[in-house]
Amino acid sequence: MIGATAGALIASCQQQLSDLDGAFYDGDSRLVHCGVNLDTSANTSIASVDSALDRARDRREVVELYAHHPDDTVPLDKIEHVLAGARDRNLAFFTYADFARSSAAAAGLALSFDDTSIDAWFAMRDLLQQYRARVTFFVSRYRNISADQRQRLKALAADGHDIEAHSVQHLRAPEYVEEHGLNAYVRDEVDPSIEILRNDGYEVHAFAYPFGARTGELDDAIAKRVPILRSVAFTYMLVESPCPR
């Protein structure tokens, strides 16, 4: 009973995804983009996702969504629902490299996956191809992944997907800066994560903040390395969102 009550309270304190202006890109050439979490833990409902896809279609905007581990943190049927919803609404698929190359926007979906679930991402390859989807994979701890996993990432990139940076150790940037300084975070977490990907042949246009945790000071420093940053937008009304207003 306590669990049900808590769940109802959480639901009552959530905004509709379609009300989160920061999660929609309209071609304003912004530096910091904000995605909304599709993982089960985020309690983003299918109805809320559908309302966001409707807004993207109706206002000719790009809605930005992300998740982590397909078939673990987010059900595969939820991913397929999003992909099918984009197809049925004639939404284009955008990657973060697309945002870096052009400020143009159309009705679309920018779907991304974070961290190191490369085997699960690769297992989703046929599903992505079925819907002719192009997505972005923000990779952390790249130096720790196996040679086989690197080849799977290469195959995903060859399919048209985007491979971007997500730090070295997946630490909260503002806390690291407070303890060690801004230059140390850039030196230890940003530059190596970009360089190792570029050394493996990826262009790298974007950096996704772990946990979406960011500051304006961090934005300014990392923008000297890549033209696009990704944070997150929270649907919880009582939680301060790191997404710029």
β-pairing, 206-208 vs 24-25, is unpaired
**How many distinct structural domains can be found in the chain?**
1
pTM for this model (two decimals) = 0.93
- Tell me if 166 is assigned to some domain: yes
Whether the Cβ atoms of residue 108 and residue 91 lie closer than 8 Å to each other: yes
- Tell me if 214 is assigned to some domain: yes
Task: End-to-end CA distance of the chain: give it in Å, rounded.
Answer: 37
58: its two tokens: 């109706």
pLDDT of 45 higher than 80? yes
> What are the helix (H) ranges across the chain?
2-12, 46-59, 76-88, 96-101, 118-123, 125-130, 147-158, 173-180, 182-185, 191-199, 216-222
Separation between Cα atoms, residue 145 and residue 119, nearest integer Å: 10
| For range 143-161, the mean pLDDT | 98
Separation between Cα atoms, residue 51 and residue 53, nearest integer Å: 5
What pLDDT does residue 164 have? 99
Whether the Cβ atoms of residue 167 and residue 191 lie closer than 8 Å to each other: no
Task: Write the Ramachandran bin of 132: left for phi over 0, alpha for psi from -120 to 50, otherwise beta.
Answer: left
pLDDT of 3 higher than 50? no
- Tell me if 8 is assigned to some domain: yes
Separation between Cα atoms, residue 35 and residue 131, nearest integer Å: 21
Instruction: Share the mean pLDDT of the chain.
Output: 93
- Tell me if 241 is assigned to some domain: no
Q: Tell the residue number behind the tokens 């230890």, with chain if given.
A: 188
What pLDDT, in 10s, does the model give residues 80-113? 999 999 999 999 999 999 999 987 779 999 999 9
- Tell me if 240 is assigned to some domain: no
pLDDT of 153 higher than 60? yes
- Tell me if 205 is assigned to some domain: yes
What pLDDT does residue 158 have? 98
| For range 198-219, the mean pLDDT | 97
**Chain length of the chain:** 245
What pLDDT, in 10s, does the model give residues 80-89? 999 999 999 9
Q: Tell the residue number behind the tokens 């304003």, with chain if given.
A: 28
State the residue range of the domain holding 125. Answer: 2-232
Whether the Cβ atoms of residue 239 and residue 198 lie closer than 8 Å to each other: no
CA dihedral over 136, 138, 143, 148, signed as positive or negative? negative
Separation between Cα atoms, residue 161 and residue 133, nearest integer Å: 8
Domain containing residue 191: CATH number: 3.20.20.370
What pLDDT, in 10s, does the model give residues 47-60? 999 999 999 999 99
How far, CA to CA in Å, does 167 sit from each of 44, 223, 231?
25, 14, 13
Confidence of residue 238 (pLDDT cuts 50, 70, 90): low
- Tell me if 139 is assigned to some domain: yes
- Tell me if 244 is assigned to some domain: no
